[in-house]
Structure 1
């Protein structure tokens, strides 16, 4: 029942208020550094359950007519594909709305459309031949002066503060991009509320507001989280998916691929992102399902006209297709190395600001912090024309050719023949560093937003500056020396190509992805001629970034938050530790077969918070007979209660417990323990000596001890 002070309110008001109070309480707990005991998935149990489901279907239909049996088995196999289609289409619809809303909110700070206040500048001026001087678009106070600056700052700050307030009050899990947490979920960890309905609502509304406010964050990372939320909600509607954690994670892997695909218009890159970065468990059948889901999502987005009207999937399509020259390759390599250095710098700055928030009063005042950051960002962006508009528009301009109209940034991006190119190079270098600093400051603030597109912008600015410098050197040297290959060529050095290479290098330096970054860049631009420069830059970016001593941004965030995530892509650690050094020693909370009465089981569940219990013969002998999870034990106890059993009624456990749990010796090397957890997907391992239980190793115990003895970085 509602508390007394809410008894007169309507049900919707009570629900909203109560949910807000719970969200703020969770926020306070995290701000005070309270550690959460998170549940993990036992993949061995899940695989056994999948085989059991197939057996039940065969047994159920064994005596049916052939036609009915074939139809039922076809429905059982096709249900997953149907859900994948629902997830892909839903992701495409929601992400299209996010993209349209973010474009409108971004343009609202600069002016309004005379044809309708709800229209963005692109929609308002779709029929205009002069986009920069569109007569239907009215800039606030003419677009210059203090009034225009005030409108730009006030509207942006209002959007950002509303996004921060919604996140604080309703769903703190909607903050950030969510990619690190998705890695943890797909690795088998259960994060309550992270994929819930309120998280989806707040993430969708918040990312529109936060990106539209002008904060140096992007909407592409949050789109992956949004798609994962949609996939989780669809799973709840079907009992087969609701009961199986393994099936849920296969579908979430496909949803993550769809999220990346609809964000960038890159279905193949989305599948490779899920394989290379997001998913821990990715069998071949999941790749085909992820591709199907991503295709459905991108087709839906294209239907809603988010992508270019020409029908092409290239979001930042390049209109130049000149062949690059071999004398440019050293410059591309240097850009790649700088991308690795800048990527590592971004990671270290983000971790620094995140730690600062946790250890200071900023964590208790997220809305005030966002207002301050947004005011600073608005003041800086207003005085730098390159950064004043949206990040996607900036990247499109940086990738484009100087023969096309770039709008107000044209003078910086494409200096006139009489202008000094060094000023443009310096302006873009400064803009790149400022974008890097603002992105690092805002990335872990309590608003929805990611770092993928800002990283692309940082690299594109740096690359464009390098391209302009090369173009200036060519003009001064002529077609001599290394520039001899430019003879009889109308356009030798194309700055847009350098922008593409720089964008890929910095994105690779931040995420440490390789193949997926290259494919995403090619799908984004349609520039297949530049695959080799992009590959070289991404490879060097990863090598230099790894040499700088950091993991990818998402792996670092996972370790910083202390999530029990074991990445199967990593090699087993080299250490002198053995299982006996990391186990949780006895006395343990165990279930004894000589005392399985209803009262003893109730007392065990009441007094212990563990998520599973070893089953032993007696507490004195400690001979292992099996292992039972807390959920299974609770279900067995509930059946006894429904049957009317009294307090001394015995609860049959051997029919529901795992009678063959994995057992190891205390002298087992830690690298072998790591392999057991990573390859078999275990949640716990029992440590026994001559059949007697002496301790237990949980995944979190292993990761915690390995982190303490973490080896130094080295070149591979």
Structure 2
């Protein structure tokens, strides 16, 4: 039997014993390599890559991954080309090339802050239209109208009050207020979902060719079969709404090297910002903080197109997008350090050291510009400033541990229930084919359930601010709805010091948040799950803080803060970045200062 036709087993020699001439072996190797190349099916992309020169940009196909190694070679070649020529023009270009990354992240942070300013002002104003309007300026929110605060102007002193601002409700009757509230919510939901429909994309899917199963079994394909193979026919695929949801899962996919066309386009940016304003204003259990990450990434992609260093290189572009993600969370919570850690821990898969510093600069630029624009009118970057200033005992730490366990249980229930609800409810053809109808149903249910409770009627960030309040402050005691009820506990003027109506409101808020967040997350509007998770945790934490042996020592707002962090950790699975975000979100930076002092003290004796 011929040697080439022998059956190969584990005892077969790796080398032929017949011909040991080096020249023959070399020629045989060339022939085998050539035959291997000829007999293999080469795609058009591979042929184009083989014929390209170093530094030439090859456009990537949609829904494919980038070539990280090829982009690295292109970047190295570009740098060597600029350095190799010693004339003045190339030296200036080399300096500009080196500084373009820093200029880009500063520009991204500044533009992100400007968009966040517009969205924050829009949400504060439009959401209050469900309740009433400002008589002296309908474009002012209730807080700005009542306290004579305006954006772009830092407030020097709190003048006036709720009665001096000129904010007028639509009606004094409960039924009329409820009807107007529901109608405005439905109108805002229609606007937001209709805008989201503009970003609808039908994803095509490829069905396997008739010969694919046979070729897959044989694992061989002759050149004639490769040339005669018909192109894969397209069949109907899934539908994607580019502006729906938070966009964070898709951004993670893009940063890992995948190409999703039009997901970071200017159209998606405008629809995302516009839709987020009206989606949050409906009163549904969703937030604008998740969409801010998508918005900042869109800005990063747009700015990256202005710099040749990034627009022609998918690897470098993803470095810029990682820095842009940090700016998105920075403007969402006023947490520049937390934004960097969020991008590093949760978003990015490729995060070299230089991206860390650029992400910090981008995040810091966004925070500084947003503080200068002053959308809240307070002149402060901290959203929910707290200053409890108390010490804790062992029983308090035990309560904190129980809140952490409850947050994990909430996160597990939410993830499982949301998956089951989406699979069941969206299986109906009426809901599946009419996403706007689903949004309107959720808006209607949300308005009916939350309006009777004054604590759940407010926007999500206002709810957190109300639940984190420290009632030991005299100013808060006079103006806060929460403190007005909790003061009965201390005075004992209501049934021995227990306001069961207030306890019922906190219980209703906790259960309502859990149920409505489950059915809301996933609808076709720009939305995030961060604020609803914080709200649910704040409700539950404030409820736990009403226990007599806990509230007699420290403020219940502390338990609300711990509960909000625990519930968000259970849903998002964030760890280190969440701790820093909560420090910056509440202005409780004593822990950071203490840790920094302890870390640097040994180096200075």
- The answer, yes or no, to whether TM exceeds 0.5 is yes
Matches within 5 A, 1:93-242: 93-127=114-148, 129=159, 131-142=161-172, 144-171=173-200, 172-242=241-311
C-alpha distance in structure 2 between counterparts of 1:241 and 1:474, whole Å: 55
C-alpha distance in structure 2 between counterparts of 1:191 and 1:355, whole Å: 24
Change beyond 3 A, Cα 1:57–1:474: closer
Contact 2:83 2:91 in 1 (8 A): no
Bigger shift: residues 381-390 or 120-129: 120-129
Q: Secondary structure at the match of 1:228?
A: helix
Q: Secondary structure at the match of 2:423?
A: helix
Q: Secondary structure at the match of 1:138?
A: strand
Deviations 1:248-297 (CA, angstroms, capped at 9, x unpaired): 11111111100000000000000000000011111111110000001111
Q: Which residue of 1 aligns with 2:419?
A: 351
Change beyond 3 A, Cα 1:353–1:413: farther
C-alpha distance in structure 2 between counterparts of 1:289 and 1:50, whole Å: 18
C-alpha distance in structure 2 between counterparts of 1:355 and 1:391, whole Å: 27
Matches within 5 A, 1:327-476: 327-356=395-424, 358-361=426-429, 362-402=431-471, 403=473, 404=476, 405-412=478-485, 415-416=488-489, 417=491, 418-419=493-494, 420-469=498-547, 472-473=548-549
The alignment's C-alpha RMSD in Å is 2.1
Change beyond 3 A, Cα 1:415–1:379: farther
Q: Which residue of 2 aligns with 1:57?
A: 82
Q: Which residue of 2 aligns with 1:289?
A: 358
Provide structure 2 residue ranges, at least 5 long, that are not aligned to the other structure.
1-60, 149-157, 201-240, 594-605
Q: Secondary structure at the match of 1:174?
A: coil
Change beyond 3 A, Cα 1:474–1:518: closer
C-alpha distance in structure 2 between counterparts of 1:306 and 1:413, whole Å: 31
Q: Which residue of 1 aligns with 2:584?
A: 523
Q: Which residue of 1 aligns with 2:560?
A: 499
Shift of 1:55: 1.5
Matches within 5 A, 1:602-681: none
State yes or no: 1:326 paired with 2:394.
yes
Q: Which residue of 1 aligns with 2:42?
A: none
Shift of 1:319: 3.2
Contact 1:111 1:137 in 2 (8 A): yes
TM-score normalised according to structure 2 size: 0.75
Q: Secondary structure at the match of 1:112?
A: strand
Q: Which residue of 2 aligns with 1:677?
A: none
Q: Secondary structure at the match of 1:90?
A: helix
C-alpha distance in structure 2 between counterparts of 1:434 and 1:70, whole Å: 63
Change beyond 3 A, Cα 1:38–1:406: farther
C-alpha distance in structure 2 between counterparts of 1:254 and 1:343, whole Å: 28
C-alpha distance in structure 2 between counterparts of 1:194 and 1:414, whole Å: 51
TM-score normalised according to structure 1 size: 0.64
C-alpha distance in structure 2 between counterparts of 1:100 and 1:443, whole Å: 24
C-alpha distance in structure 2 between counterparts of 1:291 and 1:435, whole Å: 34
Deviations 1:594-640 (CA, angstroms, capped at 9, x unpaired): xxxxxxxxxxxxxxxxxxxxxxxxxxxxxxxxxxxxxxxxxxxxxxx
Q: Secondary structure at the match of 1:468?
A: coil
C-alpha distance in structure 1 between counterparts of 2:273 and 2:484, whole Å: 36
Contact 1:265 1:307 in 2 (8 A): no
Matches within 5 A, 1:267-282: 267-282=336-351
Bigger shift: residues 512-521 or 318-327: 318-327
State yes or no: 1:250 paired with 2:311.
no
Q: Secondary structure at the match of 2:273?
A: helix
Shift of 1:529: 4.9
Shift of 1:530: 6.7
Change beyond 3 A, Cα 1:530–1:116: same
Q: Secondary structure at the match of 2:94?
A: helix
Q: Which residue of 1 aligns with 2:27?
A: none
Change beyond 3 A, Cα 1:88–1:79: same
Shift of 1:306: 2.2
Contact 2:450 2:512 in 1 (8 A): no
Shift of 1:81: 1.2
Structure with the greater relative contact order (CA < 8 A, sep ≥ 6): 1 or 2? 2
C-alpha distance in structure 1 between counterparts of 2:568 and 2:257, whole Å: 27
Contact 2:421 2:519 in 1 (8 A): yes
Q: Which residue of 2 aligns with 1:614?
A: none
Shift of 1:123: 1.5
Q: Secondary structure at the match of 1:446?
A: coil
Q: Secondary structure at the match of 2:168?
A: strand
Shift of 1:73: 1.6
Contact 1:95 1:262 in 2 (8 A): yes
Deviations 1:316-375 (CA, angstroms, capped at 9, x unpaired): 001322222232100100000100110111111222233235533212111111111111
Change beyond 3 A, Cα 1:406–1:53: farther
Change beyond 3 A, Cα 1:176–1:332: same
Contact 1:421 1:468 in 2 (8 A): no
Larger Rg over CA atoms: 2
C-alpha distance in structure 1 between counterparts of 2:243 and 2:406, whole Å: 32
Matches within 5 A, 1:529-540: 529=590
Deviations 1:199-230 (CA, angstroms, capped at 9, x unpaired): 11110100000001111100011011011111
Q: Secondary structure at the match of 1:388?
A: coil
C-alpha distance in structure 1 between counterparts of 2:244 and 2:506, whole Å: 30
Q: Which residue of 2 aligns with 1:314?
A: 382
C-alpha distance in structure 1 between counterparts of 2:64 and 2:385, whole Å: 44
C-alpha distance in structure 2 between counterparts of 1:38 and 1:351, whole Å: 25
Contact 2:147 2:162 in 1 (8 A): no
C-alpha distance in structure 2 between counterparts of 1:436 and 1:523, whole Å: 26
Bigger shift: residues 426-435 or 451-460: 426-435
